[in-house]
Structure 1
């Protein structure tokens, strides 16, 4: 396996679902392992070590679920991560098959320990390959506003672009520049949530085109799936702090907390209607709003 083959394998990692709900458990385990490797030089991790941080990642960046289920969620990717990438063993060094029940206690009692294969680690020792592999997982399973947040959480820095053009080509799904231009124009280069319209001279600053249904989750580059939002409210939408009602009003997650006036200003968005697009332009499609509500918004059961 060379670097291009590794990225191809990561690119073919299935976008798992339970019913209609996304299950990004494997990419989050891999990103955690990449951060561990970058920090320590080894991806070796027992389930006991991985359970808390990986479950926390899944709970924070996966779809909203009941908190009671969060601690057990790391077991699934730990057992079922593809064996081309991952070697899972018990306390005596014997293999642990994918048929092993995903019970937390069993994984702990067996002292289950996993490691990315040595040839994968050798490839990831190249910073360009590690950066490209990280971007591949982020681009395919999450959304751009979450990428720096996830990287900070797992201890990765992929700000430096790869110098290997082969890696750059296979690690990105290109987004449409026309989508950004049209969405910003339709909303008059102003945040549809708060009205922010800052400029430097004639150049807008801090305004972004957000996908309501994430681009990585087959969200179309279409104005019916786009909102112009300031950087803050774009991030809050992608984190599930902000949501949308069927009649296109904003809602704020009950798990959001703030004490300072600037943070508490987010509470004031609850119930506020989104700014309307220019006359003749379509509204956000209700199907995309429903996707975001089901897959991203953090309701009080999350």
Structure 2
């Protein structure tokens, strides 16, 4: 219970709806290292390149370096940091950390209990994912952190933690509502597909993420195909209140297919829901632009 509650408190300290997943990403990386190599210190200078890639791919558009969470995670009681020779950490200065051969590690008892209880490890990973990221990103996050993607899929959240996590229950009818509102078509490309009586390849994409108080309703959701949903959650695609699609300048696609399916969406209109259904709220559009979309947009 103690470790689960400490991990849960990492999310509580996020303020004003801003994404700050860097401690969570460091923990996921450290747990991946624990799985692969056992309980060993993580040297900052060796881990820095991998952490920078994790932060760039899954963090908010405002980039942050690994030094800050590497040092400050120790204050949460899950991680400890020291310099060479057992000296204390020199702080969150990247150059001082590198020069001082700083290393960190999970708290020994924390690591010991996770290694002895795979179910606990799965719960820890599940909390870190659910409280910081949209579900479409979870498999990629596990892979990038060195974790097996299925580690969190079967993890049950302990009942006593549900009151401290984002809303534990989601609307099971949401997908059907969104499909009806958007006439079973992707709002970006118009894709529709069926097999028998089942709609395939279309998903619910949230503007404001569920972990950050995003509501399960039409004012916060779009109907997108699986490809454009993933790109939307990764910040490659965005929207503006006027109803135009944004494409990040950071996106690189060299084939005709990638240009047609992604690059050429820039500036095109988002298909609105059918008459009588609520449109996305501009406040949710703004949240996605600030916290997810990797600007600047293409001109």
Q: Do 2:19 and 2:132's aligned partners in 1 also have CA atoms closer than 8 Å? A: no
Deviation at 1:208, TM superposition (A): 0.8
Distance in 1 separating the partners of 2:127 and 2:15: 22
What displacement does 1:128 show? 2.3
Tell whether 2:113 aligns with 1:118: no
Partner of 1:155: 146
1:260 shift after superposition: 2.1
Contact 1:15 1:22 survives alignment (8 Å) = no
Deviation at 1:230, TM superposition (A): 0.9
Q: Which runs of 4+ in 1 moved over 4 A?
A: 15-20, 160-172
Cα distance change of structure 1 residues 15 and 273 upon mapping to structure 2, 3 Å threshold = farther
Give the TM-score normalised by structure 2: 0.89
CA RMSD of aligned residues (A): 2.3
1:288 paired residue number = 284
Q: In structure 2, how many angstroms separate the alpha carbons of the residues matched to 1:297 and 1:13? A: 23
Is residue 2:268 matched to residue 1:276? no
Q: Is the Cα contact below 8 Å between 2:143 and 2:149 reproduced in 1?
A: no
Partner of 1:60: 57
| TM-score, scaled relative to structure 1 | 0.88
Tell me which moved more, 225-234 or 15-24.
Answer: 15-24
**Cα deviation digits, residues 223-263 of structure 1 (max 9, x gap):** 10001111111110000000101211111111101122222
**SS of 1:120's equivalent?**
helix
**Among 83, 95, 104, the residue aligned to 1:90:** 83
Give the secondary structure class of the aligned counterpart of 2:55: helix
Question: Kindly tell me: are residues 101 and 119 of structure 1, through their superposed partners in 2, closer, same or farther at Cα, counting changes over 3 Å?
Answer: closer
**Unaligned stretches of 5+ residues in structure 1:** none
Map 1:118-267; keep pairs closer than 5 Å: 118-125=108-115, 126-159=117-150, 165=156, 167=158, 170=161, 173-265=168-260, 266-267=262-263
**Structure 2 residues without counterparts, runs of 5 or longer:** none
Q: Alignment partner of 2:131: what SS?
A: helix
Matched residue SS, 1:210: strand
| Paired residues of 2:187 and 2:272 also in contact (CA < 8 A) | yes
- 1:139-183 C-alpha deviation (Å, 9 max, x unpaired): 001111111111111111141567775658848733221333322
SS of match in other structure, 2:136: coil
